[in-house]
A and B are shown apart, each in its own frame.
Chain A
Amino acid sequence: MYSTNGNNIPRIGFYICHCGHNIASIVDVVEVQKYAATLPGVTVSRDYKYMCSDPGQELIQQDIKEHNLNRIVVASCSPLLHEHTFRLAAEKAGLNPYYFHMVNVRENVSWVHDNKEQATEKAKDLARAAIKRVFFHKPLEKKTVQIKPDVLIVGGGIAGIHSALTIANAGKHVYLVEREPTIGGHMAMFDKTFPTLDCAACILTPKMSAVKSHPNITLWTYSEVEKIDGFVGNYKATIKRKPRYVNEELCVGCLDCIEACIYKEAKYPDEFNLGLSKRKPIYIPFPQATPQVVLFDPETCIDFKSHRCKKTCIEACERNAIDLKQTAKFEEIEVGTVIISTGFKTYDPKLSPQYGYGKLPNVYTSLEIERLVNASGPTAGEVVTRDGKKPESVGIIHCVGSRDEKSNKWCSRVCCMYSLKLAHLIKEHTGAEVYNFYIDMRTPGKGYEEFYDKFMNEGVHFIRGRVAEVTDWALVPEEENKLTIRVEDTLIGVVRRIPVDMVVLSVGLEPREDASEIRRMFNISCSSEGFFLERHPKLAPVNTFTDGIFIAGACQGPKDIPDTVAQAGAAAEALSLISAGKIELEPNTAQVIEKYCSGCKSCIPLCPYTAISFKEDIKKAYINEALCKGCGTCVAACPSGSITQNMFEDEQIFSEIEGLLKFAGIELEEKEVEHA
């Protein structure tokens, strides 16, 4: 138990920090210190150069012991920075840490004012408010919850794969849930990767099969999270496994069934190749798909439509793996932490009609070209236009759906680099003249500028300007039967028309369509453009505002593979929680005073963390303190005033306001403070 140091009559220690010159140059800290010493309840008042330093903390601890202090107020920087530090210091000296309160005289005073006198007055007011407030502080206990060791990872792109392997290698169990029939994400579609031009498959597929065979990883592809509830350390999730109509345990990926399908020719657009080739109703996304299991598309399989197929596929399967009656399966799991790595989608260039995508057949997206240059792609790596010709000239248009007021304002970060890569690969495969149309070349990263340099010397053309349009109308005979790119070349200040055979649109990266559903399901936030929001852009880049839920990879914002893999360090955050085994929860939670609760339920839908439920037996609201984040919404909304929140009780807030009002010239009667 923490002591209150004997009695409940406040004996307050007040400390104001110089923060070097940060505070002391604008606020007369000595004056504030002297002023505080005159206020009721203040036993010790000091100023010190760096309160957060070890000697600063020791000063507090010594005073607590020597002067029997039972309340501490520190006026320094933002509580976000050092509240924890000072609470810990108080706790070490045996005081309940919630008897401590912090005043921000740096961000709120010295950094934003330049009049020394007024700034000093403001600091005094804030100090007085805090000193009044701590009279009513109460000792609080932190709650601890246990962390279940299993981890759920949603999305099996390179981010999910890397996180899964890291955690599994550390000996913890992972459930990896991937929506598509195979893991691999976007990376599995590429032939080579910048900046090293190493073969994507060579570096990715070994990791994919490691995931499949790892004893600590349960891989569920063609699956989605249906539901999740609980709180940090204790989540319960339901996973829906969509039917493949093939028994995953029996299928060995021999592909005999595909051969035997009564459709001799593949007729349906192949999703993995973005419709650039055809597949049969029974198919496998690509040769190295993981798991190596085929699946049926009930939309196109005759048997699903008419039940009158000869089912040659079933006959061909020696292992009797095909099960046309299979239905969706639901798995219930319990995990302590979750990593969301659902990646991105590419911009739909039909929304920029000036580039003719979808109308002019030889306008492609960059992702389609990734498939065309790929040795295992629809043309076995041969780059040909839709009319089967080898292009003699190719234009690559940057920033389609990026850095554009009309579509997306952000830079997608990878397009300059992948455009360089594609320029090189197209040139290598066809010998064509390649033109890059760019606004600015953005190639920061290790070895990236060198990569750019290399291709400039390779003879790729670079034209600076945002392309106005891609059109098939010819002004001069050389443009007949070509696509003409119209652009203002801003380096030489003229409008140019460049006829080419093939146009590649370097489409930007966007949040997935269902990002906002995922956000709601997992109770995390999105930034304005729709990518998942990290807790802190620098210091907590993979944490979210919900404890135990982490984000990794391009679902947090556009990223290349090196950065994505670095972010898969979300795994480390999950592991550190797991190895701690338990987590302490801040006690700034809200409680229902059952005696007063009328059971109106108005608080329940307001809670952003779904922490409030309704106890049917007694018809009262109930707040799960493990889920409550102390936002205060329900406290303010309760019509009968029957919800209170630790550290924000009415008398604490009112006395703080009283302290401030004195400044406004409203001298309140000095009430006899009840030392409760």
Chain B
Amino acid sequence: MRYLYYPGCSLKCTGRSYEESLLAVLKALKIDFVELNDWNCCGATAYMAVDESKAFAIASRNLALAEEQFKNEKEIHIIAPCSACYMVLLKTQNYLAHNAGEMKKIQSALKESGLSYEGKVKIRHPLDVLVNDFGLKEITKAVKHHLKGIKVASYYGCQTVRPLATFDDAREPVSMDELVRAIGAEPVDWPLKTRCCGASLTGIIEQVGLPLSYIILHEAAKRRADVVITACPLCQFNLECYQTEINKNYQNDLRIGVIYFSQLLGLALGISPKELGMQRLFVKPEGVYKAVKGGETVYV
């Protein structure tokens, strides 16, 4: 099966290494995909709060484009890796499916640009595709470096599995832990998987955002995680880039790698850190590097 790939804005800038690593992994596993032509910003969460109709129109344009581009395929599955994009697309689809009035408005807006949206497209998270379509057994078979002894804190952030995802439990998601196990590493049992990192507040009102990130990093360190993996560009940014700031505020010396789950998976599959965009990290996940021995791995 061929997937459509919808990067969203983050994966082209701050979250570049998410795109690099995810695409490298998809290629390594021979998962066929093609980028959505002429895609636009999903509107993110901010737009929803300002003007819902416009927000739905912006997001649904991507869904309409997907139906157009894949009109000859049996099924249309679109991979949305950024958790905000994923949630916004799901929310749009769900809202339009249950709200005929809004749907009519959106249809007429899309028609202006020669598009139409039928609701056929399936919005997929890459975790869902890897764990459920490709399968954990197949992943284990493809592993070149079993990440023995590495303790991993799986961190979803608030949007990945909430409120509309169906591939995992919203209160106690397990797909990332299963993936971690499939590549030989050890998931740490911790209760903050879906707690908010502070999101955009960290950039605006630091005194609200920072403590939220601190809570997550502190608990991960306390549970002896070697690395935190995440599926959200904003979470990755907040948790990694503000560590110095957090240490200053809380008289601490936290230093813990925060990487994309696709980077960890890529390392296990024998892809070089460079191809996975890991040279862009501020905090090097030393423990993980040490575990990756032999093979063609080039250390950065």
Contact = CB atoms under 8 A, between A and B. Distances in A.
Contact of B215 (A353, A356, A475): A475
Interface of B is mostly: loop
Q: Determine which residue in B172, B190, B191, B222 has the highest number of CB atoms from chain A within 10 A of its CB, and name it.
A: B191
B189 A473 contact: no
A352 B172 CA distance: 9
Nearest to A475: B215
A473 B171 contact: no
A354 B169 CA distance: 11
A472 B171 contact: no
Nearest to B171: A354
A473 B172 CA distance: 15
Interface of A is mostly: loop
Given A353-B169, A353-B172, A472 B191 contact: yes
A247 interface: no
Nearest to A468: B171
A401 to B, nearest CB: 14
Contact of B192 (A352, A353, A356, A473): A473
Interface residues of A, number: 10
Contacts of A359: 189
Contacts of B219: 473
A472 B189 CA distance: 11
A471 interface: yes
A473 B169 CA distance: 20
A82 B190 CA distance: 65
A239 to B, nearest CB: 42
Contacts of A472: 191
A353 B190 contact: no
A359 B219 CA distance: 17
Contacts of A354: 171-172
B171 to A, nearest CB: 5
A353 B215 CA distance: 21
A469 B191 contact: yes
Contacts of A352: 171
B171 A353 contact: yes
Interface string A283-303: 000000000000000000000
Interface in A386-434: none
Interface in B161-182: 169, 171-172
Nearest to B170: A406
A475 B169 CA distance: 25
A89 B169 CA distance: 63
Interface in A451-492: 469, 471-473, 475
B165 to A, nearest CB: 14
B171 A471 contact: no
A475 B222 CA distance: 12
Contacts of B215: 473, 475
A353 B173 CA distance: 10
Contacts of B189: 359
B218 to A, nearest CB: 9
Contacts of A473: 190-192, 215, 219, 222
A471 B189 CA distance: 12
Nearest to B220: A473
Contacts of A475: 215
A469 B222 CA distance: 20
Interface in B184-198: 189-192
A424 to B, nearest CB: 31
A359 B189 CA distance: 10
Interface string B203-237: 00000000000010001001000000000000000
Contacts of B191: 356, 469, 471-473
Contacts of A469: 171, 191
A472 B219 CA distance: 10
Nearest to B174: A353
A667 to B, nearest CB: 42
A611 to B, nearest CB: 43
A359 B190 CA distance: 11
A353 B194 CA distance: 13
A295 B296 CA distance: 64
Contacts of A471: 191
Nearest to B172: A353
A354 B189 CA distance: 13
Nearest to B219: A473
B177 to A, nearest CB: 13
Interface in A350-365: 352-354, 356, 359
Interface in B244-269: none
A399 to B, nearest CB: 16
A288 B171 CA distance: 42
A471 B172 CA distance: 12
Contacts of B192: 473
A357 to B, nearest CB: 11
Interface in B123-178: 169, 171-172
B240 to A, nearest CB: 20
Q: Determine which residue in A356, A469, A473 has the highest number of CB atoms from chain B within 10 A of its CB, and name it.
A: A473
Interface string A348-386: 000011101001000000000000000000000000000
A336 B192 CA distance: 59
A467 to B, nearest CB: 12
Nearest to B169: A353
Contacts of B172: 353-354
B11 to A, nearest CB: 31
A352 B191 CA distance: 14
Q: Determine which residue in B169, B172, B222 has the highest number of CB atoms from chain A within 10 A of its CB, and name it.
A: B172
A533 B291 CA distance: 61
A354 B173 CA distance: 11
A261 to B, nearest CB: 38
A405 to B, nearest CB: 12
Contacts of A353: 169, 171-172
Interface string B27-46: 00000000000000000000
A354 B191 CA distance: 9
Nearest to B173: A353
A357 B288 CA distance: 32
Interface string A332-345: 00000000000000
A471 B191 CA distance: 7
A312 to B, nearest CB: 44
A234 B215 CA distance: 69
Contacts of B169: 353
A469 B170 CA distance: 13
A161 to B, nearest CB: 40
A472 B191 CA distance: 8
Contacts of B171: 352-354, 469
A354 B194 CA distance: 11
A469 B219 CA distance: 16
A469 B215 CA distance: 16
Nearest to A355: B171
A356 B169 CA distance: 14
A469 B171 CA distance: 9
A475 B219 CA distance: 9
A395 to B, nearest CB: 16
A488 to B, nearest CB: 15
A359 B172 CA distance: 12
A131 B216 CA distance: 79
Given A353-B171, A471-B191, A473-B190, 8 more contacts: A353-B169, A353-B172, A354-B171, A354-B172, A356-B191, A359-B189, A473-B215, A475-B215
Interface of B: 169, 171-172, 189-192, 215, 219, 222
19 contacts: A352-B171, A353-B169, A353-B171, A353-B172, A354-B171, A354-B172, A356-B191, A359-B189, A469-B171, A469-B191, A471-B191, A472-B191, A473-B190, A473-B191, A473-B192, A473-B215, A473-B219, A473-B222, A475-B215
Which 7 pairs across A and B sit closest by C-beta, in order of nearness?
A353-B172, A471-B191, A354-B171, A473-B219, A353-B171, A473-B191, A473-B192
